[in-house]
């Protein structure tokens, strides 16, 4: 069964460093998402992406964050200058149909980001 994959599974970085989290969505999906979950907190929406553009972003997704689909398979989240409060589990998700569809979002296993 097709699945969303994410690399790395765990990333440790120093405050102020740039990190890139990578995701490979399911191949026939058109809509891509990033969510994060701070330890013990709710899963929070960061950004959605369709047709090579951001379609929606949350207030968390400030100028330090960017997303890109550099080729036909990868979807990346870049944090330019990491802060301690960026430490969280980051989940990538994808689906075939966007808002209002009958299709669930399929989540990857997550990347645990630890900022020291």
| Residue 75 makes contact with another protein by CB under 8 A | no
Residues 50-69 that bind another protein (CB under 8 A): 50, 55-56, 58
Q: What is the DSSP letter of 85?
A: G
- 4-43 footprint of another protein as x/- string (CB under 8 A): x--------------------------x-x-x-----xxx
Exposure b/e, 18-35, CB count within 10 A at least 16 = b: ebebbbbbbeebebbbbb
Q: Are 96 and 30 in contact (CB under 8 A)?
A: yes
Residues of this chain that bind another protein (CB under 8 A): 4, 31, 33, 35, 41-45, 48, 50, 55-56, 58, 91, 98-110, 112
């Amino acid at each position: 069964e097709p699945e969303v994959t994410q690399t790395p599974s765990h990333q440790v970085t120093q405050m102020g460093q740039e990190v890139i989290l990578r995701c490979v969505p399911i191949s026939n999906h058109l809509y891509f998402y990033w969510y994060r979950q701070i330890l013990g907190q709710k899963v929070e929406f960061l950004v959605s992406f369709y047709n090579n553009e951001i379609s929606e972003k949350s207030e968390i997704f400030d100028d330090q964050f960017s997303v890109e689909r550099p080729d036909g398979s990868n979807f990346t989240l870049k944090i330019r200058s990491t802060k301690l409060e960026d430490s969280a589990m980051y989940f990538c998700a994808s689906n075939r149909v966007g808002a209002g569809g009958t299709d669930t979002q399929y989540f990857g296993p997550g990347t645990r980001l630890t900022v020291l």
